[in-house]
Amino acid sequence: MTISKTPLLDRIETPQDLRKLQPGQLRQLADELRRETIDAVSVTGGHLGAGLGVVELTVALHYVFDTPNDKIVWDVGHQTYPHKILTGRRDRIRTLRQGKGLSGFTKRAESEYDAFGAGHSSTSISAGLGMAVARDLSGGSNHVVAVIGDSAISAGMAYEAMNNAGALDSRLIVILNDNDMSIAPPTGAMSAYLARLVSGGAFRTLRETAKQLARHLPHFLYEKARKAEEFSRSFITGGGTMFEELGFYYVGPIDGHNLEHLLPVLTNVRDKDDGPVLVHVVTQKGKGYGPAEAAADRYHGVNRFDVLTGAQDKPKANAPSYTSVFAKTLVAEAERDDKIVAITAAMPAGTGLDLFEKTFPDRMFDVAIAEQHAVTFAAGLACEGYKPFCALYSTFLQRGYDQLVHDVAIQHLPVRFAIDRAGLVGADGPTHAGAFDIAYLACLPGMVIMSPSDEAELVHMVATSTAFDEGPIAFRFPRGEGVGVELPQRGEVLEIGRGRVIREGSKVAILSLGTRLADATTAAKELSGRGISTTVADARFAKPLDRDLLLRLAANHEVLITIEEGSIGGFGSQAFQILSEHGALDGARGAFKFRSMILPDLYLDHDKPDVMLARAGLDARAIVAKVLEALGDERGAARALIA
């Protein structure tokens, strides 16, 4: 008979089962939960360090609060693997980030315990405040807890929400998960004792009584007493004055791995029946797993790995990643041009700018999770003659869109936007899929947008961006490996708005933007085998689009198809507008047909990239089918899709 390594966890199907345990059993449960989290992520890969840091906090929250009636909003959602295990999803935890499996983030459609979906950061306090106000308007009595951590507190949106929460004085609990000791040092028994004291009803009652008495003093004495009380409480508890000024009752800091500290404090703040409260919890990212604790990034994101050694299963790359090509090319350009500076928002490794920082530490700026600031900061640098490269994920740039329009585009400032994770992103799913950047950039007057078809083209586009000083310019590139082409020693400066023809044909033309070019070429070969002569062209630019090339393709072919890994309103829409303006769609030529292949009008769930592209209808088979359908061969189109 095999003895289970997780006997207590085996008894937990939902938090209701957890709340049947005695407090003294929770330490063992937390240890088993940590072991299960490590084992699961070793199979699936994903975000590990942040989840390990909140194991005890997760247990304590579900033990003290009546979830799902009480709402827990996690920020960022990648902290929630332990939460998923405790909330009825343990039997599926080894499907994390796999096709048709669990999301790597919180997802409302997945569980009633996921009160709010969160793939991006710094949203929890705003969402939690909305839930708290809705509860108050409805006459409810449940609790709302926002857990904000893994640097999410660095974004301005969190402070906007706290300012509003303090003004509304709604009953809201914010747990600040301080997992990098950026705010407070490690805490001990005295700090925990004081936290229990100031969070308890007796202290709060005494404090309120003192306040009422002080109000009867002359104004100047009252103000001095108020400030002295705030200072003394801040002094003995180790911080919190800023949060108090925003209207929160501050408790902490406390040890987030000590259940004897967590449980009484959370119980006290649960029973506090007025106003917002912030509990400052200090945790260690990667806690309890040696390889994670020893790693510089605390195993923030990992591939599959060996639990005993921590060695990750990193498949041998066939080609360098687009991210690394961008980073190395930018370093090379910066060696020749001392006006080049780099900016990112808490993603130096993700965008490759950690390499730039090693070479030019004084010219690299990580502004933390503050994309709005990043964009306007870049605008200020551009005003003074520098060449800022603002490197952000496509979906993160969305957070700085007003600044992009108002502070950069309207002023025609030459900010260079390096847009990583453009298109589908596999396991990270819809929250990180760069589907909209072409559409939201192409509508801006004067914006230049490029998309490389391979890694060599990316080198040219970095060089082109460096040389371009007339206004804002962006180049978007996907996650993952390139196609394996030889890289040039130095990038060429491309002619703005000029595409290129890759393959000449006569009947069908495929105009591709970005890395769909490889599949377009494959499709053209198959079509040629069917006797359909096919031209393939690489647009290079979504804006300004090569009008001469587009109109020539329309004039000389029966069918013209554009293809992009982006949403409606992007490259295909730009092409349609030009064709319409020049009368190419007026019917005079009779047989000419135009089709645009884009991402479907829905959010695609996470899966392997090739599976997602097939589901999106953007792979080689789908291109062949689209051509055959346009030529009237619907049976052939159907067969092409299942070939």
- Residues with a catalytic annotation lie at 285, 371, 399
Is 208 annotated as belonging to a binding site? no
Three-state SS for 495?
A: coil
Q: Tell me if residue 238 falls in helix, strand or coil.
A: coil
Identify the bridge partners of residue 449 per DSSP, sorted by sequence position.
474, 543
Structure tokens at 101: 């499996």
Looking at beta carbons, which pairs linking 19-23 to residues 24 or more positions away fall under 8 Å? 19/62, 19/63, 21/63, 23/63, 23/259, 23/263
CA distance 474 to 443: 13
Closest CA to 333 of 494, 493, 542, 543: 493
Q: Tell me the helix, strand and coil percentages in the chain, rounded to 5.
A: 45, 15, 40
142 is in an annotated binding site: no
Strands 301-302, 46-47: pairing is antiparallel
* 289 in a labelled binding site: yes
- Report whether 47 belongs to an annotated binding site: no
For the record, the structure tokens of 480 come out as 């993952």
Handedness of CA 339, 344, 345, 347 (dihedral sign): negative
For residue 525, what are the CA distances in angstroms to 134, 504, 535, 623?
59, 11, 10, 11
> Could you give the count of Cα atoms lying within 13 Å of 433 in the half-sphere of its Cβ?
23
Residue 179 known to bind ligand:
yes
- Nearest residue to 124 (alpha-carbon basis) of 132, 49, 199: 132
d(CA 482, CA 393): 17
Determine contact, residues 417/394, Cβ cutoff 8 Å.
no
Beta strands of 179-286 (E only): which ranges?
249-255, 277-282
Sheet containing strand 508-512, edge to edge, reads: 500-503, 534-538, 508-512, 559-563, 593-597
* Sequence-separated (6 or more) residues with CB below 8 Å from residue 70: 142, 143, 144, 145
> Taking the CA of residue 245 as centre, how many other CA atoms within 13 Å lie in the half-sphere pointing to its CB?
9
* 75, 147 Cβ separation under 8 angstroms: yes
- Is 412 known as a binding-site position? no
Instruction: Using alpha carbons only, give the angle 437, 382, 411 rounded to the nearest 5 degrees.
Output: 65
3-state helix/strand/coil string of 588-621: CCCCCEEEEECCCCCCCCCCCHHHHHHHHCCCHH
Token pair in block for residue 193: 């004792």
Evaluate whether 574 touches 542 at the Cβ level (below 8 Å). yes
- How is residue 589 written in tokens? 């030529």
Do residues 304 and 45 make contact, with C-beta atoms less than 8 angstroms apart?
A: yes
Q: Please answer whether residues 93 and 372 qualify as being in contact, where contact means their C-beta atoms are separated by less than 8 angstroms.
A: no
Residues contributing to the annotated binding site for thiamine diphosphate: 78, 119-121, 179, 289, 371
Residues contributing to the annotated binding site: 78, 119-121, 150, 179, 289, 371
